[in-house]
Chain A
Amino acid sequence: MAANPMSQFDVYRIGPEIKVGAFDISFTNASLFMILSTVSILLIFNLGSKKNSILPNKIQLLAELSYTFVSKMISDTAGSKAKPYFAFIFSLFMFVLFCNMFGMIPYTFTVTSHIIVTFVLAAFIFIGVTVIGFIKHGFGYLKLFVPSGVPAVLLPLIVVIEIISYLSRPISLSVRLFANMMAGHTMMKVFGGFVISLGIVGGWLPLSFSVALTGLEILVAFLQAYVFAILTCIYLNDALNLHH
């Protein structure tokens, strides 16, 4: 077992190298955990939607509670116009949640601790929201950058700030998730390393930290998935209901 706390984020090939043109699309441990997450999501929700009993069993209750949780989150933040995007936000929330949670199992790989994964998701959301905004409002969508009730003197400055904040959305969205996941897992690994190196005498202190951190990290895993989904809803809300 490598002592390096960053080695848990190493991506390595499983099986042969697959190349399409110049691109390496080999099956890696990251791919394995993506597939594991999606398959478990599909399995759970398929089981949860199979039977339609008036009194739901546990798995059906789980599926329906998740459904109502996400649909309430969307309708609270983005209103009823966001209903067509429910399936996407639901998938997004579940994907991020399951990847985060799979990462909490020892010796697993955390898909969302890689900037490239979170950035692709965030960039897709950013482009999608921008496209939706322009389709819904045409060039009127640019009014998003001009808040109402601002004195004319400040307007150029405000517009620049608004544009920068809008453009930094994919970065902030992706870095937030990636950094949270990476920092948490690194910290746990560091404290785990202390337990081994301090041995039976001093190892109890970092071990108790590790236990506490595990609870915290499970909370963070859920919270970051929630934040990711709710920020998507807020961006969608900007695109659907132009307030300015």
Chain B
Amino acid sequence: MVKKIYFQSIFFSFFFIKEAFAAESGGMPQLNPEFWVSQIFWLILTFGIMYLVLSKLILPKISNNLESRKSQILENIEAAEKQREDSNAKLKEYDEIISKSKLEANSIFNQAREKALKDIGAKREVLDKQIDNEIAGAEKEIDALRKNAPDKINKIAIETSSELLQKLIGAEVNNSSISAIVDDLSKRNGDKYYGN
């Protein structure tokens, strides 16, 4: 109900307002030619001055600003690109140096090892030779000693036997007969004594 009254009052008031407007309205001021010339004059004057100032002074400056910013940004991008390339090249160089020095270090190490091995080998050979020589000398000596041993033993046996015989018998015994016996014994039992 309240709503209805509200909208009705709005609706009816339109009529009053329209009447009020109709009473006062005197057509469109736009079609009154009184100030047309003045408006044209001031339009041309203000628009003309604005156009001249904008086209001669302000717009070139703005376009200049835009251009310079664009070029500066492009330059900066180019510089950044160049620096990146440079740093990439430097990185490559650095990597190369590192790999090269690694190789060098490896080769130096290998050489040193080889040299050390060679030295060791040479020294070992020399030592081996020396040892061999000494062993050979010792063997020879032993051989010589071994060869001489039966004779000496025989001699000792002969002398001891002759002395024993002399003491036992009291008479001189011919050395040659004793030696014959010893020789005979040693020949027969030599192998047993010397382990040959």
Contacts and interface: CB of A to CB of B under 8 A. Distances in A.
Nearest to A203: B10
B41 A23 contact: yes
A210 B43 CA distance: 30
B142 interface: no
A25 B39 CA distance: 7
A54 interface: yes
Interface string B166-196: 0000000000000000000000000000000
A3 B62 contact: no
Contacts of B57: 46
Given A25-B38, A90-B54, A205-B10, A34 B43 contact: yes
B47 interface: yes
A42 to B, nearest CB: 6
Q: How many B residues are at the interface, by size bracket?
A: 35 or more
A9 B30 contact: yes
Given A63-B62, A64-B62, A120-B40, A42 B53 contact: yes
Interface string A106-137: 00000101111100110000000000000000
Interface secondary structure of A, over-half rule: helix
B40 to A, nearest CB: 5
B28 to A, nearest CB: 6
Contact of A197 (B17, B27, B72): B17
Contacts of A68: 66
B25 interface: yes
A219 interface: no
Given A4-B24, A178-B30, A201-B9, A30 B65 contact: no
Nearest to B42: A31
A226 interface: no
A4 B25 contact: yes
Given A9-B29, A198-B13, A38 B50 contact: yes
Interface of A: 2-7, 9-11, 13, 23-28, 30-31, 34-35, 37-38, 41-42, 45-46, 48-50, 52, 54, 60, 63-64, 67-68, 86-88, 90-91, 94-95, 111, 113-117, 120-121, 178, 182, 190, 193-194, 197-198, 201-202, 205
Given A52-B61, A54-B72, A60-B65, 14 more contacts: A4-B25, A4-B26, A6-B26, A13-B35, A25-B41, A25-B42, A31-B38, A35-B42, A38-B46, A38-B49, A46-B57, A67-B66, A117-B43, A120-B40
Interchain residue pairs A-B with the least CB separation, the first 7: A87-B55, A31-B42, A49-B61, A38-B50, A34-B46, A25-B41, A11-B35
Interface of B: 6, 9-10, 13-14, 16-17, 20-21, 24-32, 34-44, 46-47, 49-51, 53-55, 57-59, 61-66, 68-69, 72-73
8 contacts: A30-B39, A34-B46, A35-B46, A41-B54, A42-B53, A50-B61, A87-B54, A201-B6
